[in-house]
Amino acid sequence: MAGGGSAPAMKMSDVFILLGVTFLLGGLFIHGFVSPIGVDSENEPYTNGASLLKGDSMQFTIDATDQSTFSVEITDEESVVVLMETFVAAGGESQSVDFEADEKGFYSYSVEFTEGSGEVLVDVDRKLVIDFIIYPLGAICIVFGMAKRRDEQSKETLDAVLIESD
């Protein structure tokens, strides 16, 4: 440290507690803060992709802000179109498109507005709940850190000043 001082080493219990809290908060951000993307006909289409296992699904929710024409296209790893749908929606109307993967792989998707504008929300649902493994891992780290802290405190030496009594 600057000034010639030194910091005490971080205890393992604190590391596990910090790691567990980070896992839990990270999981909340990953799963809780999904926001729709604004797309309009004047800009590039919204494109992205997802790795899916067999049976995983994607749900597209498109909310049109005005009279809109848009299309949803999904392609597999070989660039073969596996889903292509076009919709016409009035302002305030919402359309939903569901896609289920027949085989595992990376699927690219594109939502293009040819007329109008709207918001696109993509929700990926996994058949295996592997996305949620982060929560039990975080809880295990916190519990282990708390147990380790309790163990460290019981082994800590106690410094006491003994006062001689007359």
- Name residues whose C-beta falls within 8 Å of residue 48's C-beta, 6 or more positions apart in sequence: 108, 109, 122
Q: What is the pLDDT of residues 5-27, one digit of tens each?
A: 677 778 888 999 999 999 999 98
Fold of the domain spanning 10-154: Jelly Rolls (2.60.120)
Q: Tens of pLDDT along 36-67? A: 888 888 888 999 999 998 989 999 999 999 99
pTM across the whole model: 0.69
- Quote the tokens at residue 59: 């749900």
Res 147 pLDDT > 80: yes
**Dist CA 34 CA 76 (whole Å):** 24
Phi and psi of 50, rounded to 5°? -150, 140
Q: Is the dihedral of CA 6, 11, 17, 18 positive or negative?
A: positive
* Region of residue 79 (phi > 0: left; psi between -120 and 50: alpha; otherwise: beta): left
Residue 120's H or E segment, with its range, is: strand 117-125
